[in-house]
Amino acid sequence: MRLKDKTAIITGGGTGIGLATAHAFHQEGAKIILFGRRKEKLEKAVEKLGASAMIVQGDMTNNNDLDQLINETLHNFKKIDVLVNNAGLFNGSPLHEISDSQWDEIMDINIRSVFQLTRRVLPVMLSQKYGNIIHISSILGLIAVPEVAAYNVSKGALNQFSRSIAVEYGSSGIRSNSICPGLIATDMTADLMKDTELMKEWSKEYPIGRFGKPEDVANACLYLASDESSFVTGITLPVDGGFTSH
């Protein structure tokens, strides 16, 4: 019960890393608010989580939806202890070919919407004199690979955003950390991972010898959300099977 009596918002909570994190938090006693666009996925998730969880349907890029998320969370649970900024978008194109709309879409979802939600959560955490923000970034926020420049940039910005929160609000009892997963088997990566030859080649870069599972990232989230990490803030934690070690 490491998260007993704590309230956690998880964006993109209906599938993948968000859903695995919701299950991990639930098992440790947290009250959970799942936010996302696909209502049926959220409802299915809450069926398994029970009465200690609720859903708020909405779009990360819609400020009215973010206001509703905050209002409903405070109405039902009175506080926000943990925010997991998990919702994100991945797609690729050579940098000289990417359109303005493609660039803007990635930036809007992966960094601007995170800023908008976090800006709404911070006053609540300041009034509580406590808070914990976890950002699901990527190893591509630490290194760069070809043909996904916009994604690389958005995740690099997210890591710096997290550090900025850590240094600005640490004295107010608020922690902020980034998790940088390697390749994780989720809906977002399903099409990519169908390329068996590519996966065979990529797997050589993972010293542990496998790609990640959503639960691998969820366990890192659990550590950072718990008081066991009370002296940890401003870090970027690779959860990547050793990929970034060489």
Say yes or no to pLDDT of 27 above 90. yes
Which of the four pLDDT bands, split at 50, 70 and 90, describes residue 194? Answer: confident
For the chain, what's the residue count? 246
Which of the four pLDDT bands, split at 50, 70 and 90, describes residue 191? Answer: confident
- The b-or-e profile of 117-156 (16+ CB within 10 A means b, else e) is bbebbbebbeeeeebbbbbbbbbbbbeeeeebbbbbbbbb
Which of the four pLDDT bands, split at 50, 70 and 90, describes residue 186? Answer: confident
Strand partners, 56: 35
How high is the pLDDT of residue 189?
80
* CATH code of residue 169: 3.40.50.720
Assess contact for 116 and 125: CB atoms under 8 A.
no
Which of the four pLDDT bands, split at 50, 70 and 90, describes residue 91? Answer: confident
Q: Mean pLDDT in the chain?
A: 95
Structural domain contains residue 120 = yes
H/E element, 11: strand 7-11
Assess contact for 135 and 114: CB atoms under 8 A.
yes
Q: Which of 151, 169, 206, 223 is catalytic?
A: 151
Structural domain contains residue 87 = yes
Structural domain contains residue 203 = no
Cα–Cα distance list, 144 to 25, 73, 155, 182, 230 (Å): 31, 37, 10, 12, 31
How high is the pLDDT of residue 203?
87
Range 13-40 average pLDDT: 95
Instruction: Report the candidate in 158, 170, 28, 19 with the shortest Cα–Cα distance to residue 89.
Output: 158
Return the ∠ at Cα 216 (arms to 213 and 218), rounded to 5°. 110
Question: Is position 169 annotated as part of the catalytic site?
Answer: no
Structural domain contains residue 195 = no
Structural domain contains residue 246 = no
Say yes or no to pLDDT of 202 above 90. no
Which of the four pLDDT bands, split at 50, 70 and 90, describes residue 193? Answer: confident
Which of the four pLDDT bands, split at 50, 70 and 90, describes residue 245? Answer: very high
pLDDT digits (tens, 9 = 90+) for 97-145: 999 999 999 999 999 999 999 999 999 999 999 999 999 999 999 999 9
Assess contact for 205 and 106: CB atoms under 8 A.
no
Place of tokens 């973010």: 66
Give the total number of structural domains in the chain: 1
Q: Residue 133 sits in which domain range?
A: 7-185+213-240
Assess contact for 132 and 86: CB atoms under 8 A.
no
Structural domain contains residue 202 = no
Q: How many CB atoms lie within 10 A of CB 47?
A: 9
Model's pTM, two decimal places? 0.95
How high is the pLDDT of residue 196?
87
The rounded percent of the chain whose pLDDT value lies above 70 is 100
How high is the pLDDT of residue 197?
87
Say yes or no to pLDDT of 51 above 90. no
How high is the pLDDT of residue 199?
87
Say yes or no to pLDDT of 188 above 80. no
Assess contact for 112 and 88: CB atoms under 8 A.
no
Return the ∠ at Cα 35 (arms to 50 and 107), rounded to 5°. 155
Structural domain contains residue 205 = no
Structural domain contains residue 2 = no
- Ramachandran region, residue 231 (left: φ > 0; alpha: ψ -120 to 50; beta: rest): alpha
